[in-house]
Structure 1
């Protein structure tokens, strides 16, 4: 069985003070003592300053991994087309994490309205460097087919397995790692949801199989 990393999407939430954090200060320091990975969700909306990424790289423990969402300017505004400059800027920003051996997968979360296009997917993946780990989360069911998975597999890019109301939890392995996102099963928003122990237990054999 491979290494299993468990974390959350972000760590700086005021309503976690009390249930999880003892105080507002030092959230990150406490988080990395409990979890061994985190998905940086804020990069989807705006890029953090370089000094902040350097701080994460130095502050996190040795075996900690950061995943990060690719900016929405690439996925939603440009819809994966002609975004080479933006992608280069993002990769340069993440470089301190990679140099420290703490950079995990970079996540492309596609917009719900983007339909299946094998040529678009191939064009995206062919332009990505082999030095990084990438994962793609689809939001439209038209992408859930063998051709999509074959293209991902050919480039060692992970299909993001999801637990959410929109798509089925297809456990498909297309890379040498697996990326699972538990969004929640709420209506609006999905993430306003507390998984029961029984619901989480349903995933134990799936996670073990993927690992």
Structure 2
């Protein structure tokens, strides 16, 4: 059975920092990451979606975490077809057309080079390519996926779709086959299931190396309102128990499973991750007392 690593989708979220979860004396950048890494073995880096990372941060992240810790790094917005502010681009690239494939190649080069120290230190879990809600199945989308994979050749890659048609019954086998052909891990999600945009809680495994599950909360405001509206949810133990057999099934089919909580309101995500740790073989996966 593969390892199940449980964590959250950020350790720097303002709501978490303001919640009091970090103890006095460990509220600076170094202290927060060290405190988090003593409690969880994996985290998602969300900031890289909004701005290109730096090699310096990659080095610091590696230095401040123990062997075996993993960072799943979210792809920069332009690499997944999301609207991207001009100010988020490097100054020397701001006059370029954001639809220019050459610009995407250059952005990928700088993105990947900044992460290379993290990868060389053995801390990189995967690159998370989260595609937008309007990224619907079709020839154009498939071509975009192949282009993304060509850029990221040799790098671990996970794909999350936000358009529900990718995983509807008539399409799901083809989607799984496409991701397997790309050697990309499918991202399973937990979210409210009574919305037009709801993604079903399927658990396909398209890479023998890795499976990823992201828990978005079960807010009916998904896709609307503020970030707090979209992600506000406190997981009950029974809701997480539903996933226990699914996670074991994923671990039977992949060498590693990353379970990440994205209900980032106050300390809801870390508390849900702590509960999931209690449910999933804590002696094997816990890094220490959760406090």
The answer, yes or no, to whether TM exceeds 0.5 is: yes
Matches within 5 A, 1:49-198: 49-75=54-80, 76-77=82-83, 82=101, 83-117=104-138, 118-130=142-154, 132-144=155-167, 145=171, 146-165=173-192, 166-176=198-208, 177-188=210-221, 189-198=229-238
| 1:80-136 deviation line (CA, Å, top 9, x unaligned) | 972222112111111011110110110011011111133332333244212x21001
Q: Structure 1: where are the runs of 5+ without partners? A: none
Q: Secondary structure at the match of 1:28?
A: helix
Contact 1:157 1:175 in 2 (8 A): yes
In structure 2, what is the equivalent of residue 20 of structure 1? Answer: 21
Counterpart Cα distance in 2 of 1:81 and 1:202: 44
Q: CA deviation at 1:57?
A: 1.3
Contact 1:80 1:120 in 2 (8 A): no
Counterpart Cα distance in 1 of 2:100 and 2:39: 39
Counterpart Cα distance in 1 of 2:112 and 2:239: 36
| 1:124-154 deviation line (CA, Å, top 9, x unaligned) | 3244212x21001101122222222111111
Deviates more, 1:70-79 or 1:54-63: 70-79
Counterpart Cα distance in 1 of 2:239 and 2:20: 21
Cα–Cα, structure 1 residues 109 and 80, in superposed 2: closer, same or farther, change >3 Å?
farther
Q: CA deviation at 1:15?
A: 4.0
Higher relative contact order (CA 8 A, sep 6+): 2
In structure 1, what is the equivalent of residue 48 of structure 2? Answer: 43
Contact 1:65 1:102 in 2 (8 A): yes
Q: Structure 2: where are the runs of 5+ without partners? A: 85-97, 193-197, 222-228, 252-291
Counterpart Cα distance in 1 of 2:59 and 2:182: 29
Contact 1:53 1:97 in 2 (8 A): yes
Contact 1:74 1:80 in 2 (8 A): no
TM-score (norm 2): 0.68
Structure with greater Cα Rg = 2
Counterpart Cα distance in 2 of 1:80 and 1:161: 29
Give the number of aligned pairs. 210
TM-score (norm 1): 0.92
Contact 2:53 2:115 in 1 (8 A): no
Counterpart Cα distance in 1 of 2:32 and 2:4: 23
Deviates more, 1:151-160 or 1:44-53: 44-53
Q: Secondary structure at the match of 1:93?
A: helix
Counterpart Cα distance in 1 of 2:145 and 2:53: 27
